[in-house]
Amino acid sequence: MKTETKKDDRVSNNKDRESCQSTINPTSEWKGRTIEIDDAGTGDLVGNAFIGFRDTSTGKIIYQSVPVDLYKEDEDKKKHILEPKKHILKVVIKALRILNHNESDRILLCRGNCFDLVREYFDENEIYYEAAVVEGVLQEAVEGRFIQHLRKLGVSSKKLTTEAGFQRYFVLFNWVCQDFPNRERYVKTGFPSWPKKWRRIALERYQKSENGQTQRRELIKRRANEIYNIMLEEPISARNTKSR
């Protein structure tokens, strides 16, 4: 099926399209350039998220990061939901400029809800895009970039793979449990399930672990030394004590 390239038709097609196509085997033909957009890490417990862009005509791939701090829980319950999406919109606009996007291009955009504001922006500015299940080259590349980031944070498990889902969630969760005080800062604490359930479980597992017990003993010992040093510096005067 040949895709119409008229601007008015493009906008209506965006709103009426109900199904997604795979980037491996697109269902529609396109004479111009195609730009694929996909994400990685937006639903993972730990670390930054990444947005990947691929120019299929040249094979060029670029990445933009979404800092984990944007996913942190705060008093404004909606902030940690909106801020990542706002940032993603900014990096999408930036990346399309880098790729010299023009009206003759087709954008295959991942259907994830992290791109909600991007879709609104595309519709408002009459930028043509098609909803897609991003598979193949770009998916593997952007997931690989996310895994590299996790490795740099210190996640060494051999079970960590580029396949998102249940297993990867618990690889990252277990990693946090092993050193909870130092690793919670890498957690997307704005995820609703973290404060409601998983934070408590992670803390309990850490406290029961050998590492947790060792650190508690070290903390007690350090505090005892601090108190002892204070007593040496400020000895209690015998004249200020009361005998019984």
Kindly report each contact of residues 60-66 with a partner whose C-beta sits within 8 Å and lies 24 or more positions away, as own/partner. 60/99, 61/137, 61/138, 61/141, 61/142, 62/95, 62/98, 62/99, 63/142, 63/145, 64/91, 64/92, 64/94, 64/95, 65/91, 65/149, 66/41, 66/42, 66/91
What tens digit of pLDDT does each residue of 140-174 get? 999 999 999 999 999 999 999 999 899 999 999 99
Statement: residue 103 has pLDDT above 70:
yes
What tens digit of pLDDT does each residue of 53-101 get? 999 999 999 999 999 999 998 766 667 789 999 999 999 999 999 999 9
Please, what are the domains in the chain?
7-145 (3.30.420)
Tally the C-alpha atoms within 13 A of residue 153's C-alpha that lie toward its C-beta. 23
CA pair distance 116, 107, nearest whole angstrom: 15
